[in-house]
Each structure stands twice: as structure tokens, then as C-alpha cells.
Amino acid sequence: MNQGISVETMQVNWSAVSGAIAYEAQWRRNDGNWINVPRSSTTSFEVSGIYAGRYLVRVRAINAAEISSGWAYSEEKTLTGKVGEPLAPLALATRSLVHGVQVSWE
């Protein structure tokens, strides 16, 4: 359960590079470690399940001789997420158990 937290999908795309047969991409959140995206011949990728924060992406092209270009960096983008507190639980109920209490809600 992710109450009060925005979970989004990040979609990234770029223009094809002449002579490139593949691309390597990485992304990071809030100046954290770079996360590798699997090498691909396509010019886009998606990352699902990301949370609010600042995101940066970098991509490099690979040619047939396995020589890579330098990294090309995106502009940093901020995902703001939801604003405000989550709603209070509804229909709060308790039930006695032999050695405890069961709590339930909607």
C-alpha cells in the first residue's frame, strides 16, 4: 500500500544516431546511483513504479565495432507526486481473538 505517495511511469525517448546499432541508457533519482537500462536497439524505454523526486537520464550510442559515444544527458525533471495527506481509513472495526485483537478497515 502506497498511501499518499505518487507512483508513476517515466517514459524516455531520443533521436536515432547514424551508425548506431544499440544504445545504453541509465537513470537516477535525487542524485542517487545510476540504474542501468538493458541495452537495446530502440530509441526509447519506460521505467514503471518510480516515486516523486528529481530524475536525470543519460544515453550513449554503440556502433558495430562496439565503440560507444560519450554520454548525452537529459535535462533534470521533477515529479512532484501527490499533494496533501491520505484520506482517513473508513469502517474501522476490531474483533477479539484468543491472544490478540484483529483490526480491519476499508
Q: What is the pLDDT of residues 23-32, one digit of tens each?
A: 999 999 999 9
CA angle 76, 80, 86 (to 5 degrees): 160
Burial 30-55 (b: 16+ CB within 10 A, else e): eeeeeeebeeeeebebebeebebeeb
Whole-model pTM: value is: 0.70
pLDDT of the residue at 1: 47
Higher model confidence: residue 82 or residue 8?
8
CATH of 7-104, one of 3.10.20.70, 2.60.40.10, 3.40.309.10, 3.40.50.720: 2.60.40.10
- Whether pLDDT at 2 is above 80: no
The string of pLDDT tens digits covering residues 52-99 is 889 999 999 999 999 999 999 999 998 765 555 667 788 888 888 888
Domain residue limits, the chain: 7-104
Number of Cβ within 10 Å of residue 62's Cβ equals 18
